[in-house]
Amino acid sequence: MVKVVVCGAAGGIGQPLSLLLKQSDLISHLALYDIVNAAGVAADLSHINTASKVTGHVGKDALAEALSGAHTVVIPAGVPRKPGMTRDDLFKVNAGIVRDLAEACAKHCPKAFILVISNPVNSTVPIVCEVFKKAGVFDPRKVFGVTTLDVVRSSTFVNHIKPQFEPQSNRITVVGGHSGATIVPILSQIKQVTFTPEEIKALTHRIQFGGDEVVKAKDGAGSATLSMAYAGARFTTSLLEASVRGKRGLVESTYIHLKGNAGAEWNARSTGLEYFAQDVELGPEGVANVLALPDLSAEEKALVKIAIGELKGNITKGVDFVIAVP
């Protein structure tokens, strides 16, 4: 039983994510941090008759107390997109928010698992890692970009056109990053159903731009929150199952720092990147083993090449944001 902190807990993702985490029997203390309204959300959730204690922490002065003793910190803090924006457009605001939270984590809970939801994930994960490196407490096994929503969307959208494909128990590998062309679902590995080349093309596009569908439908009121809370809770639960309960063989696609993670050398060499999303087996210390990329079709190889090109810039932007400041 461990302490889990949600930073940005009063937000569109933070509230339903906290609700889902309140149902976990692996969490003894759910600490909800935000710059506004976290006390109200905590009071509300604390009436739910599950075992965990819930505390609310509002404002910077309450951050140390929220983070101290944390086993896992989930970060959905920051602004979401409006129609017409890219995730990279969020960098201006969210980079500073994530950096400040990472600095506080490095100080108050340096051994915690850090799960980054705030966009642009392709850059915010490098920001967290660089902050931890600067503080001398970086463990590449413990920082994750949460790309689970891409995996969830993949199996959902496949099921929409192939109803015989069972979406909850069949996991689809998604590699690359978390924005548009950097999202590469490996549909060629699906064994249960077959696709025409046109179906593959349409599905790939829908998965890559699934976030835009929601942004457009919400029409200025934000981006995916409920499906993201579901995906975030799934990833957090998998990590807790592996790290607290010692469950073996749990695999999730996630965006991680390659160097220093077992099995990632090949990916680092073949992509030339410092960060990449792929299937990872979770264990007691976080990443236990990075699984080799599956065999890719010619089309998927071409998509990975495009993703690599875009990721390079996203990664450099995040790294420079931290190392440029002495």
| Binding residue ranges | 8-14, 34, 81, 87, 94, 117-119, 153, 228
Closest by CA to 5, choosing from 51, 41, 55, is 55
End-to-end CA distance of the chain: 39
**Candidate segments 10-18, 186-194, 199-207, 274-282, binder of ligand NAD by CB under 6 A:** 10-18
Q: Both tokens of residue 9? A: 């807990």
Query: Tokens 């051994």 belong to which residue?
Result: 111
Of 78 and 140, the one with the shorter C-beta distance to ligand LMR is 78
Burial class (CB in 10 A: 0-12, 13-18, 19+), 82: middle
Rounded least distance, CB 183 to ligand LMR, Å = 8
Q: Distances from the Cα of 91 to the Cαs of 63, 114, 129, in angstroms?
A: 22, 19, 16
Alpha-helix residue ranges (DSSP H) falling in 84-209 = 91-108, 121-134, 148-161, 197-208
Q: Both tokens of residue 121? A: 């994930």
Binding to ligand NAD (CB under 6 A): which residues in 283-302? none
Q: Is 229 in the site for ligand LMR (CB under 6 A)?
A: no
Of 76 and 283, the one with the shorter C-beta distance to ligand LMR is 76
Of 155 and 243, the one with the shorter C-beta distance to ligand LMR is 155
Q: Is 178 in the site for ligand NAD (CB under 6 A)?
A: yes
Phi then psi dihedrals of residue 47, to 5 deg:
-85, -5
Q: Applying CB under 6 A, which of residues 102, 228, 268, 288 lies at the interface with ligand NAD?
A: 228
Rounded least distance, CB 180 to ligand NAD, Å = 12
Phi then psi dihedrals of residue 324, to 5 deg:
-70, -25
**Candidate segments 135-143, 191-199, 209-217, 290-298, binder of ligand LMR by CB under 6 A:** 209-217
Count of residues in the chain: 326
Of 132 and 255, the one with the shorter C-beta distance to ligand NAD is 255
Q: Is 126 in the site for ligand NAD (CB under 6 A)?
A: no
User: 120: cis peptide before it, omega within 30°?
Assistant: yes
User: What type of residue is 319?
Assistant: V
Phi-psi domain of 8 (left: phi exceeds 0; alpha: psi -120 through 50; beta: other)? left
Residue 178 designated active-site: yes
Binding to ligand NAD (CB under 6 A): which residues in 137-156? 146, 149
With residue 225 as reference, give the H or E element that holds it: none
Query: Tokens 């099921």 belong to which residue?
Result: 159
Q: Count residues near ligand LMR (CB under 6 A).
A: 10
Rounded least distance, CB 155 to ligand LMR, Å = 15
Residues placed in the known binding site for substrate? 81, 87, 119, 153
Identified catalytic residue from 47, 178, 205, 257: 178
Phi then psi dihedrals of residue 290, to 5 deg:
-90, 125
Q: Is 97 in the site for ligand NAD (CB under 6 A)?
A: yes
Q: Pairing between strand 27-34 and 53-58?
A: parallel
Q: Applying CB under 6 A, which of residues 222, 237, 262, 291 lies at the interface with ligand NAD?
A: 222
Angle (CA) 236 239 245, round 5°? 120
**Candidate segments 42-50, 90-98, 201-209, 295-303, binder of ligand NAD by CB under 6 A:** 90-98
Rounded least distance, CB 205 to ligand NAD, Å = 18
Q: Is 87 in the site for ligand LMR (CB under 6 A)?
A: yes
The residues pairing with 34 across neighbouring beta strands, listed in sequence order, are 58
The catalytic site residues sit at 178
Binding site for ligand LMR (CB under 6 A): 80-81, 87, 119, 149, 211, 214-215, 223-224
Binding site for ligand NAD (CB under 6 A): 7-8, 10-14, 33-36, 76-81, 90, 94, 97, 101, 117-119, 121, 146, 149, 178, 222-225, 228
